[in-house]
Each structure stands twice: as structure tokens, then as C-alpha cells.
């Protein structure tokens, strides 16, 4: 019986995900064939310099493979592995690597579960929790491997990039009738360029900023502060600072009282949270005390929120990739499903998009 080589499929998305599958065998549906499949993912990658020459950090890199083709290596074998963190750099002290975890099989199932992996290094914080890996070879079903993991509160390179949470799953199966690769990644939020880290890198401590400087920065970023039962904008925080400066000057120079508005009470009360009204017959000292107390309560939160604010944030990234190599091109598929909730730069938000539509040309080429 004449044999034909089967179709190979490959797909990648934004350098984040990759899956390949290939199979070989006879064109007859009744005859079992041989095949191999691989899947790989990098959940978080930071590359500085040309092609990462200065620093390249990979967090949660996972790989899975399954093979029943003797021409592609050890037949009837499956493997799954994860590299929690690797870093290469032109600075030797930044060449780091956390121990890799892996499972492999040429028959009986090899399963491994790890409650948590600490990612604390000079370049990163956070954890991978939980983690599970599996590999098995079955005489009837072929070889398969799988991996599932989640990221928690991960930061890389001093706040350059942070991922509060993410989930990742991988599957690779080489079966007698086809070879499949499955990848899934869900990231609720990716934050780039933590402002506090940027300011510290410039030698500026956010805690030493003036009230007006804090207000301006929060306003540009669109960050609001909890204020009683409501919220306070950056502009309103700056107005409190300006009002306090004016009133303090008035207490020192009685002549300046004539320059104040006839009744500043309504303006001041408008900036204070409900439940903290001024006395019925307020003095300048009463106003200074009220605003000072309010600022004392607001400033710690303002400094913290500013320091934690990202300059760029990507929300609700969901990606799924499926590849299948069968006996004919018609029976083979390479499918991408991807969506992006929104991209926020400062206080400017770009609405979400269907990434699969954006990549339709790539899909057309693949299929």
C-alpha cells in the first residue's frame, strides 16, 4: 500500500503562544499512522535591548510534547515541563534560573502537582500556584501530555511589568489518527511601567511630592481616591492643597483676608467628605484644621495609589489555540480564538477588540 506524508500545521500569536502538530501515515482511515505534536507558551516575557541582549526574562515558560513517530525521536513518549523563571543578561549577576519541573512517560502515567513555586529573585516577585503536570502513553490512545498553572502577584524588573493573576493550560496528544496541540491563556490584567518604580529610578520619592504635584499626576492617570462615601479626583485634591496654602497665608497676614472670597465655606465643604462640616460660624483656623486633617487622611492613599499606577495596562486578554494534523488538509485545522478587553494608556482607554479578527489574514494563510 502506498503511503503519503501528512500535513503539518503551525500557528503563533504575538510571540506569546505557539503550538505545532505534524502526523504521518497512510491515507486510509482504517490504518493507524504515526505522529508527533508539541506545544509551548511563555506567559510573561521582558526583553530589554536588541532582541533581549541587555536583559531577557521569561516567566512561566511551559512545553509539552507527545510522539509516536520513530523518525521524530523516541517513539511512544510524552513529556511536559515548566521553567518557572529564566533570565539571561549581559550583566552576569542577572543570569538567573529557577529549577525546572518536568514529567515524562513511555508507558505508565507520570503526574506531578506542586502547591506553590516562589518567584522571588532580584528581578521578580510573586508565585506560581497551583501547578500540575502529566504525561502518559497508551497502546490504543497514543501519547499525551498536559500542564495547568496560574500566576499570582507577579512583578518583573522592578515594576517594569506586573501580572496580578493569570491562568495557563497546555495539552499535546499524538494519536494513531491525528496529532493535536492545545493552548490556553487568560490574563485579567497586564500592567507595564509601574509609575512608582519609574519615579524611584529617576531619584524621585512619591512621598516627597507636594499636594498639587500629587493631584496633577493622579488627574493625568485618571486615578481617584476614596473620600468618605464618595471619591476625590486629582483636581479636587490639588484644589484642597491650594485652598490650604491660601488659608495658611491668611492666618499669617491679616491683610490678605480681604483677598479671600466673601464666603469660602461652600467651596471648602464641597471638597470635604460628608459628615465633616465646618462649624456654623467658621474661622480661618477652623478651615485650616479641617483641610489639614482631611489631607492627612488622604495623602497616604494618594501616594500609594500613584506609586502603584501603571502607565500602560492591558485588560482581559484571553487566547486559545487549537491545532490538528490529520490524514488530509481538509481534515486538519489550525484555529485561533483571542480577545482583548481594553488597553489603557494613562487615563486614555482603547476599547476591546476580537484579536481573532485582527489575525484573520494569519488564519487564512495557516489554513
Phi then psi dihedrals of residue 269, to 5 deg: -60, -30
Q: How many whole angstroms separate alpha carbon 196 and alpha carbon 310?
A: 9
Phi-psi region of 159 (alpha: psi -120 to 50; beta: other; left: phi over 0): left
Q: What is the pLDDT of residue 25?
A: 36
- Within this chain, do residues 51 and 94 fall inside the same structural domain, yes or no? yes
- Identify whether 210 is part of a domain: no
pLDDT averaged per 10 residues, the chain (length 367): 30 34 36 69 81 85 82 75 88 88 90 91 88 87 88 83 86 83 83 72 76 81 77 81 74 50 56 56 67 78 77 79 76 75 70 58 50
Listed residues 286, 308, 330: the one ending a domain: 308
Longest dimension (CA), the chain: 107
Question: Domain for residue 55, yes or no?
Answer: yes
Q: How far is CA 354 from CA 189, 317, 341, in A?
A: 17, 10, 9
End-to-end Cα spacing for the chain: 28
Give the per-residue pLDDT at 340: 75
Domain encompassing residue 241: 224-308
Residue 214 lies in a domain: no
On whether both 55 and 175 belong to a single domain, the answer is yes
Asked if the structure places residue 302 within a domain, the reply is yes
Residues 122 and 230 in one domain: no
> 155 and 135 in one domain?
yes
CA 217 – CA 302 distance, rounded (Å): 10
Pair 314, 248 in one domain:
no
CB 176 within 8 A of CB 32: yes
Q: Can you spell out the DSSP letters for 15-80?
A: TTEEEEEEEEE-S-TTS--EEEEEEEEEEEEEEESGGGSSEEEEEEEEEEEEE--GGGSSSSEEEE
Per-residue exposure over 294-330, b if at least 16 CB sit within 10 Å of its own CB, e if not: bbeebbeebbebbbbbbeebbbebbbbbbbbbbbeee
Where a domain ends, among 275, 291, 308? 308
For residues 247 and 314, state if they share a domain: no
Domain boundary pick from 308, 335, 358: 308
44, 60 in Cβ contact below 8 A? yes
Burial 173-200 (b: 16+ CB within 10 A, else e): bbbbebbbbbbbbebebbbeebbbbebe
Q: What is the pLDDT of residues 191-216, one digit of tens each?
A: 777 777 667 666 778 778 888 888 88
Rounded distance between C-alpha atoms, residue 326 and residue 23, angstroms: 7
Q: Is residue 250 part of a domain?
A: yes
Mark whether 303 and 315 lie in a shared domain.
no
User: For residues 35 and 23, is the Cβ–Cβ distance under 8 A?
Assistant: yes
Do 190 and 245 share a domain, yes or no? no
pLDDT of residue 250: 64
Which residues are paired to 20 by β-bridges?
10, 38
Question: Do 130 and 238 have their domain in common?
Answer: no
> Do residues 299 and 313 share a domain?
no
Could you tell me if residue 49 is inside a domain?
yes
The total domain count for the chain is 2
Q: Are residues 229 and 355 in the same domain?
A: no
- The three cell numbers locating residue 227: 473620600
pLDDT for the residue 326: 74
Any domain includes 211: no
Residues 6+ apart with CB under 8 A from 266: none
DSSP secondary structure string, 188-225? EEEEEEEHHHHHHHTT--GGGS-HHHHHHHHHHHT--E
Residues 255, 110 share a domain: no
User: Is 9 within the bounds of a domain?
Assistant: yes
Amino acid at each position: 500500500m502506498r503511503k503519503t506524508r501528512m500535513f503539518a500545521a503551525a500557528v503563533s500569536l504575538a510571540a506569546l503562544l505557539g503550538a505545532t502538530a505534524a502526523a504521518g501515515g497512510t491515507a486510509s482511515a482504517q490504518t493507524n499512522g504515526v505522529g508527533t505534536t508539541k506545544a509551548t507558551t511563555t506567559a510573561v516575557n521582558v526583553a530589554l535591548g536588541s532582541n533581549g541582549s541587555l536583559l531577557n526574562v521569561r516567566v512561566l515558560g511551559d512545553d509539552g510534547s507527545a510522539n509516536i513517530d520513530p523518525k521524530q525521536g523516541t517513539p511512544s513518549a510524552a513529556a511536559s515541563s515548566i521553567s518557572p523563571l529564566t533570565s539571561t543578561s549581559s550583566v552576569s549577576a542577572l543570569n538567573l534560573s529557577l529549577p525546572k519541573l518536568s514529567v515524562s512517560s513511555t508507558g505508565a502515567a507520570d503526574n506531578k502537582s506542586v502547591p506553590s513555586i516562589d518567584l522571588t529573585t532580584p528581578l521578580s516577585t510573586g508565585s506560581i500556584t497551583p501547578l500540575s503536570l502529566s504525561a502518559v502513553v497508551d497502546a490504543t490512545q497514543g501519547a499525551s501530555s498536559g500542564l495547568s498553572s496560574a500566576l499570582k502577584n507577579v512583578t518583573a524588573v522592578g515594576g517594569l511589568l506586573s501580572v496580578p493573576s493569570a491562568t495557563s493550560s497546555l495539552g499535546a496528544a499524538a494519536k494513531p489518527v491525528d496529532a493535536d496541540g492545545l493552548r490556553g491563556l487568560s490574563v485579567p490584567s497586564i500592567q507595564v511601567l509601574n509609575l512608582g518604580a519609574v519615579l524611584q529610578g529617576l531619584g524621585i520619592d512619591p512621598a516627597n511630592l507636594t499636594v498639587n504635584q500629587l493631584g496633577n499626576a493622579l488627574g493625568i492617570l485618571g486615578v481617584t481616591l476614596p473620600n468618605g462615601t464618595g471619591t476625590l479626583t486629582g483636581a479636587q485634591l490639588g484644589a484642597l492643597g491650594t485652598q490650604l496654602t491660601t488659608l495658611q497665608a491668611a492666618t499669617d497676614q491679616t491683610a490678605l483676608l480681604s483677598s479671600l472670597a466673601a464666603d469660602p465655606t461652600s467651596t471648602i465643604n464641597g471638597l470635604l467628605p460628608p459628615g465633616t462640616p465646618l462649624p456654623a460660624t467658621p474661622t480661618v483656623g477652623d478651615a485650616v484644621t479641617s483641610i489639614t486633617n482631611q489631607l492627612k487622611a488622604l495623602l497616604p492613599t494618594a501616594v500609594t495609589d500613584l506609586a502603584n499606577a501603571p502607565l500602560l495596562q492591558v485588560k482581559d486578554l484571553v487566547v486559545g489555540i487549537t491545532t490538528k494534523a490529520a490524514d488530509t488538509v481538509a481534515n486538519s485545522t489550525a484555529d485561533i480564538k483571542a480577545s482583548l478587553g481594553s488597553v489603557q494608556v494613562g487615563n486614555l482607554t482603547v476599547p476591546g477588540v476580537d484579536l481573532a479578527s485582527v489575525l484573520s489574514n494569519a488564519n487564512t494563510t495557516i489554513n
